[in-house]
Amino acid sequence: MEYDYLLKFLILGNSGVGKTSFLCQYVDGQFCERYISTVGVDFREKRLTFQPLDGGRTQRINLQLWDTAGQERFRSLTTAFFRDAMGFILMFDLTNEQSFIDVSNWMVQLQTHAYTETPDIILCGNKLDLEDQRAVSKRNALDLAERYGLIYFETSALTSVGLANSVRRLVQMVMKRMETSVETEFPVFKKRVESIQMAVPNRPDFDYQDDFDYDEEDEQKSRCHYC
Interval 106-156: pLDDT, tens? 999 888 888 888 899 999 999 999 999 999 999 999 999 999 999 999 999
Percent of the chain whose pLDDT exceeds 70: 70
pLDDT of residue 137: 98
214 is a domain residue: yes
Q: Give the domain extent around 215.
A: 5-220
User: How many structural domains are present in the chain?
Assistant: 1
Kindly report the CATH number assigned to the domain that includes residue 126. 3.40.50.300
227 is a domain residue: no
Kindly report the pTM of this predicted structure.
0.78
Q: Average pLDDT for residues 89-104, to the nearest whole number? A: 98
Closest CA to 136 of 93, 104, 102, 105: 93
Order of strands across the sheet with 120-126? 151-154, 120-126, 87-93, 5-12, 59-68, 41-51, 212-213
Q: pLDDT averaged over the chain?
A: 79
C-alpha–C-alpha distance, residues 197 and 87, integer Å: 17
189 is a domain residue: yes
Would you place residue 180 in the very low, low, confident or very high pLDDT band (cuts 50, 70, 90)? confident
